[in-house]
A and B are shown apart, each in its own frame.
Chain A
């Protein structure tokens, strides 16, 4: 158990809908990262927050947004969902802005 929690574990929704994925980092970790894992694209970095501020953006679609709150938990919002958004979404946390990242168990999103 990495100490990173993600909810919900599974999410099934329809195209065009909006969902929110939640991540609680390990106690004391200031950095939160979001990754998307799909069969054809592998693990892709989406976005990194450090102590509430956005630090880096990767291959994140404009339909997706994220934020990190003062208590350091983070939410990833996915809107106007498409079939291709079906994937595993992982959150990872780190105590610093670099180095080891600890991954949560993931949220499996299925868009029908």
Chain B
């Protein structure tokens, strides 16, 4: 079964808007939550990651919000730009190993 559930499947945002992608998990052994960005024909590239000891992490226009009690985390892209158009994957890794369980991906389109 899908260990990490991601929504929405696709997202269209106006330039300058906020893009929000949500993920949820069940396994309480997960303790590392990265977000990856993938452009067509390329491998996923790490955007930002968080561990459960903090509720928010910000790097530039990208912010992860983490809710440990709800077992949810989300990616916010502020001031979205056409160059942000890509597929975004959330993932989770357990404290017993480092295999990533990926969400199903969100295709983001930022229109000028």
Segment at the B interface, from A13-21, A64-72, A97-105: A97-105
Does B78 interact with chain A (Cβ within 8 Å)?
A: no
Q: Would you call A2 and B98 a contact (CB within 8 A)?
A: no
Among B42, B43, B99, B104, contact of A58 (Cβ-Cβ < 8 Å)? B99
* B3-50 residues at the A interface, CB under 8 angstroms: 32, 34, 36, 41-46, 49
Cα A55 to Cα B41 in complex, Å, equals 29
- CB contact under 8 A between A90 and B97, given known A42-B104, A43-B89, A98-B32: no
Nearest Cβ distance between residue B89 and chain A, in whole angstroms? Answer: 6
CB <8 Å contact, A94 and B98: yes
Q: How many residues of B contact A (CB 8 A)?
A: 22
Assuming the contacts A48-B97, A106-B43, asked whether A43 and B34 have C-beta atoms less than 8 A apart, the reply is no
Is A104 a contact of B100 with CB atoms below 8 Å? no
Are the CB atoms of A98 and B93 closer together than 8 Å? yes
Report the separation of the CA atoms of residues A106 and B41 in the bound assembly, to the nearest whole angstrom.
8
Interface residue ranges, B against A (CB under 8 Å)? 32, 34, 36, 41-46, 49, 89, 91, 93, 97-105
Q: List 30 A-B contacts (CB under 8 A).
A: A2-B45, A4-B43, A31-B98, A33-B99, A33-B100, A35-B102, A42-B89, A42-B104, A43-B102, A44-B102, A45-B99, A45-B100, A45-B102, A48-B97, A48-B98, A55-B98, A56-B97, A90-B44, A94-B98, A97-B98, A98-B32, A98-B98, A99-B32, A99-B98, A100-B49, A101-B46, A102-B46, A103-B36, A103-B43, A106-B42
